[in-house]
Amino acid sequence: MRRKIVAGNWKMNKELAPGMELVTEIVASNTAQDVLKIIAPPFIHLAAVADKIKGKSDFAVAAQNCHQAENGAFTGEISAGMIASCGANYVIIGHSERRQYFGENAQLLAQKVNTALAQNLTPIFCLGEQIEQRNANTHLETVKQQLKDALFHLPAADFSKLIIAYEPVWAIGTGVTATSHQAQGMHNFIRSEINKKYGKEVSENISILYGGSCNPQNAKELFACMDVDGGLIGGASLKAADFIAIANSF
């Protein structure tokens, strides 16, 4: 049984005090307890958020990125082990902004996935197409290649630990959202490719989230799709009322 998940990616927003106010408000709502609510704040919040949600099985904390090396002379970087030591259980890997602004490619992302798993962190692995690929009708092949290049080296036992997040790049921060038909079509395609590689048991039990301008107005329709197991939420996760409303949309 796939778990319903709503993950809030704060990106580079919220200093420490307002960040903790936001977490406090979300936790105090005490709603949607059947939904796993993952909070992905900036690194400076990780330990404090982990402490705030301690003992709450419907909450978890994620980092937004990790370095591919276990440790070393990488000034300014954060290792998977450091993230785990703060009490986090998840880490976002491969977000389109990391790919676009920091040049992260499939080989690097595969290394990050390996490192995260070695530290018992669950990767929330992002993939998706640009608008040019969607318009050229190569979006399915694009996503298939992203799966193959960064994830399909994993044995089934490790792959089963992942969460996949489909983010149509053309819908991130643009206010444009994939239609429920487009979202379901891609999520079903991703699940079918996983089935081909790892079999039905793995494909049917892995959660696939939608990320791309998901908000309280469209979440219910998106989450009603058979293969959409929740959302990776950007801007709407910065307002407690919006994030709570999305979590209540199943």
User: What is the rounded distance in angstroms from the CA atom of residue 186 to the CA atom of residue 168?
Assistant: 10
Cα dihedral 85, 206, 36, 95 sign: positive
Helices vs. strands in the chain: H and E counts, helices first: 12, 8
The structure tokens listed for 123 are 């990767």
For 180, the enclosing helix (H) or strand (E) is: helix 180-198
Q: What is the dihedral of CA 213, 219, 223, 229, to 10 degrees?
A: 50
77 is a catalytic site residue: no
Q: Helix or strand or coil: residue 76?
A: coil
Half-sphere exposure of residue 229: CA atoms within 13 angstroms, side-chain side: 24
> Which one from 45, 95, 139, 187 is the annotated catalytic residue?
95
104 is a catalytic site residue: no
Q: Which of 230, 122, 120, 216 is nearest to 166 (CA)?
A: 230
> Which one from 104, 139, 167, 187 is the annotated catalytic residue?
167
Which residue type is seen at 49?
Answer: V
The CA-atom distances, in angstroms, between 161 and each of 80, 95, 152, 157, 197 are: 16, 18, 13, 7, 15
The structure tokens listed for 121 are 């962190």
Which segments of 62-126 does DSSP mark as H helices, in order? 80-85, 96-102, 106-118
Residues belonging to the active site: 95, 167
